[in-house]
Amino acid sequence: MVYTIYLNDTIKKLKLIDYTTGLYNRKYLVQHLEKMLPLAHREKHVIGFLSIGIDRFKAVIEEFSYDVGEDVLIKLAHMLVKEVRTSDIVIHLEADEFLIVLPNVENANNAEFIAKKLVDKFSKLEFLPGQEAVLKKTICAGVTLYPNDSATIEDILKNSNISLLEARNAGRSKVFKYSKDLSSSVELF
């Protein structure tokens, strides 16, 4: 009986973890934010969200392989966890996109500073060690805040994605802060 309870708990936890990176997944994010947002609202805390995407990630897979692409994802995941506070949460959303939750961030400038630090740090990583060519990759980051920019979980996911798309549209290694006028003007496709 105890073993069955342990096994069920383990299965529930595994459903919240991304297999490739070992990070929490979108399902965990939603469950966590359902608890976190009301508390932040009551205590008047600002939460920062950094949406991170690897620039031209598809080219890595096409030019090299899925294994190299997976290595890039894993190294990015490890770097993100290492560089943020222990109270921050790093989520692997899908494909090459990650979301970092920054509880109690003071303002957008602080969140943008963290995003720029991560963009710079990742650009220094090298892939394909021991081979003739060295692969260097870059990331872009979109910044959004709760409750300033987004009032619901859906808004957070949508607006952080919009800010990431704007950063990617601006070029490589860019950071872009969400603003409400983007929702009606962003080019999604």
Domains defined along the chain, listed by start? 2-179 (3.30.70.270)
pTM metric for this prediction: 0.88
- Pairing assessment for the beta strands 97-102 and 89-94 based on DSSP bridges: antiparallel
- Arithmetic mean of pLDDT over the chain: 88
Cis, peptide link before residue 147, omega less than 30° from 0? yes
pLDDT value of residue 189? 46
DSSP 84-120: S-TTSEEEEEETTEEEEEETT---HHHHHHHHHHHHH
Task: Find out whether 51 and 161 touch, Cβ atoms under 8 Å.
Answer: yes
The answer to whether the CB of 77 falls within 8 A of the CB of 100 is: no
pLDDT in tens, 22-73: 999 999 999 999 999 999 999 999 999 999 999 999 988 888 888 888 999 9
Residue 2's pLDDT band, with cuts at 50, 70 and 90, is low
Distance CA 162, CA 69 (A): 24
**Could you write out the three-class secondary structure of 116-153?**
HHHHHHHHCCCECCCCCCCECCCEEEEEEEECCCCCCH
